[in-house]
């Protein structure tokens, strides 16, 4: 008879362990949900702060832009009544102001880190700045004008003189100005979208309205074509050419007149070289790509004469000091110096010239 095996005692599973595991899982889940909720609350708070920051900075830019738009509407209503200088100044001002507003909008968008909303906000003002640049280019190209010099830069020369590129036809100018108006319409629509997005976001931030195209018909091809025709026929916008001598200097300079000296004859210190320097001014309304001055020195004894020309590009209202012209002279000899402007095409008024007798004093 085989020995009796001891019967194993059946293990009884305790119900405690599954409950503990379930409770632990619930605790972890609660912590995760709480953490996510806290992250969401923090994110919403950050977004709300960013929205309000953009709205605060954007309000300043929008109000500046609105002021520029009002100035432009007034300016364009009297386009054809402007002088060339006034027209150019108005266009340059619109370009400079919108460029400044675009830069400020870009800074506001970057400082708030709002992603697509910030990028759209910056794009509104970039489009407006581009539109003003295209408007100016179209008008300048049609009338043969040039943008004025930037403040602080030299006003005596130009990098792209008028005439260096072909002028625009009336049709080309009309199409380009109408395209600039299309850019403004697009910018207005994008601004409304940004405004709605901010108002509906967690921060409920508010931007003021900003509209440049208040009357779409103003920027239609037909209206623009009529404006271009007025520009073409306005007598005050016709180009005028008028170069004048502003100053003439001698090196060495003339000596003070001695008692009993012959009137009309300037005496120069003993020298073998006479330098003549002039400042040429453009009092006309158009850029002169090659303003020229003629210098002639004639020996009063022999009659021999030497003539030289010097030129510079001059913006309307600008001036330039031309390179100094140097003549060989002999002590004890009298010369007649003539300095005159070479009239550009279109200039009928002859400005005053210098005709001066010079006596080079004998060497001592």
Question: What is the tens place of the pLDDT at every residue in 284-340?
Answer: 988 899 999 999 999 999 999 999 999 999 988 899 999 999 999 999 999 999 999
Q: Does the residue 117 lie in any domain? A: yes
Residues 186 and 315 in one domain: no
Q: Predicted confidence band at 223 (pLDDT cuts at 50, 70, 90)?
A: very high
Q: Which of 237, 256, 285 is the last residue of a domain?
A: 237
Q: Domain containing 293 — which CATH number?
A: 2.60.40.10
Q: Which of 210, 237, 264 is the last residue of a domain?
A: 237
The pLDDT value recorded for residue 118 is 87
Query: Which among 356, 224, 192 is positioned nearest to 278, based on CA atoms?
Result: 356
Query: Which among 283, 281, 256 is positioned nearest to 268, based on CA atoms?
Result: 256
Rounded-to-5 percentages of helix, strand, coil across the chain: 50, 20, 35
Q: Which of 237, 263, 278 is the last residue of a domain?
A: 237
The pLDDT value recorded for residue 137 is 96
Residues 184 and 315 in one domain: no
pLDDT greater than 60 at residue 13: no
- Residue 321 vs residue 54, higher pLDDT: 321
- Residue 318 vs residue 151, higher pLDDT: 318
The pLDDT value recorded for residue 55 is 82
Q: What average pLDDT does range 203-214 have in this prediction?
A: 90
Q: What average pLDDT does range 239-264 have in this prediction?
A: 87
Contacts with 361 (C-beta within 8 Å, 6 or more apart), sequence order? 255, 267, 268, 269, 270, 331, 332
Residues 328 and 283 in one domain: yes
Q: Which two tokens stand for residue 91?
A: 């266009």
Residues 294 and 203 in one domain: no
Q: What's CA 218's distance to the chain center, in Å?
A: 24
pLDDT greater than 50 at residue 27: yes
Q: Does the residue 214 lie in any domain? A: yes
Residues 218 and 287 in one domain: no
Residues 190 and 275 in one domain: no
Contacts with 321 (C-beta within 8 Å, 6 or more apart), sequence order? 156, 277, 278, 279
β partners of residue 292: 311, 342
The pLDDT value recorded for residue 168 is 92
Residues 120 and 138 in one domain: yes
- Residue 8 vs residue 183, higher pLDDT: 183
Least trusted range by pLDDT, from 58-72, 189-203, 254-268: 254-268
pLDDT greater than 70 at residue 164: no
pLDDT greater than 70 at residue 184: yes
Least trusted range by pLDDT, from 95-104, 116-125, 199-208: 199-208
The pLDDT value recorded for residue 79 is 85
Q: Does the residue 20 lie in any domain? A: no
Q: Predicted confidence band at 257 (pLDDT cuts at 50, 70, 90)?
A: confident
DSSP code, position 284: S
- Give dist(CA 39, CA 231) in Å, integer: 62
pLDDT greater than 80 at residue 247: yes
Residue 88 belongs to domain spanning: 32-237
The pLDDT value recorded for residue 191 is 96
The pLDDT value recorded for residue 315 is 86
Measured at the alpha carbon of residue 128, what is the angle toward residues 124 and 130, in degrees to the nearest 5? 115
Contacts with 166 (C-beta within 8 Å, 6 or more apart), sequence order? none
Q: Does the residue 287 lie in any domain? A: yes
Q: Does the residue 4 lie in any domain? A: no
Q: What average pLDDT does range 53-81 have in this prediction?
A: 91
- Element (DSSP H or E) covering residue 43: helix 16-77
What's the domain count of the chain? 2
Residues 270 and 217 in one domain: no
- Tell me how many helices (H) and strands (E) the chain has: 5, 9
The structure tokens 């909720």 sit at: 37
Distance spanning both ends of the chain, measured CA to CA: 161
Residues 293 and 193 in one domain: no
């Amino acid at each position: 008879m085989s020995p009796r095996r001891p019967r194993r005692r059946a293990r009884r599973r305790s119900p405690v362990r599954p409950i503990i595991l379930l409770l632990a899982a619930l605790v972890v889940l609660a912590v995760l949900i709480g953490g996510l909720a806290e992250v969401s609350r923090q994110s919403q708070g950050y977004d709300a702060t960013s929205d309000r920051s953009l709205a605060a900075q954007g309000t300043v830019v929008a109000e500046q832009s609105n002021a520029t738009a009002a100035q432009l509407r007034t300016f364009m209503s009297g386009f054809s009544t402007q002088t060339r200088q006034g027209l150019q100044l108005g266009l340059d001002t619109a370009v400079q102001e919108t460029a400044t507003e675009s830069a400020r909008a870009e800074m506001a968008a970057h400082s708030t880190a709002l992603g697509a909303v910030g990028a759209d906000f910056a794009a509104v003002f970039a489009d407006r700045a581009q539109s003003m640049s295209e408007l100016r280019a179209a008008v300048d190209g049609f009338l043969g004008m040039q943008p004025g010099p930037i403040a602080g830069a030299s006003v005596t020369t130009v990098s792209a003189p008028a005439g260096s590129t072909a002028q625009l036809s009336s049709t080309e100018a009309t199409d380009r100005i109408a395209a600039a108006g299309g850019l403004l319409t697009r910018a207005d629509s994008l601004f409304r979208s940004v405004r709605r997005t901010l108002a509906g976001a967690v921060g409920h931030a508010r931007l003021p309205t900003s509209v440049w195209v208040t009357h779409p018909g103003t920027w239609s091809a037909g209206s623009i074509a009529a404006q271009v025709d007025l520009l073409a026929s306005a007598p005050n916008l016709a180009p005028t050419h008028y170069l004048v001598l502003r100053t003439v200097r001698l090196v060495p300079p003339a000596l003070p007149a001695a008692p009993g000296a012959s009137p009309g004859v300037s005496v120069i210190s003993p020298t073998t070289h006479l330098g003549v320097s002039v400042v040429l001014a453009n009092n006309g309304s158009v850029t002169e790509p090659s303003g020229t001055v003629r210098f002639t020195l004639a020996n009063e004894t022999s009659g021999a004469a030497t003539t030289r020309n010097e030129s510079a590009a001059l913006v309307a209202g600008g001036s330039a000091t031309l390179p100094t012209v140097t003549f060989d002279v002999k002590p004890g000899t009298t010369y007649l110096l003539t300095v005159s402007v070479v009239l550009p095409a279109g200039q009928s008024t002859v400005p005053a010239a210098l005709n001066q007798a010079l006596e080079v004093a004998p060497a001592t």
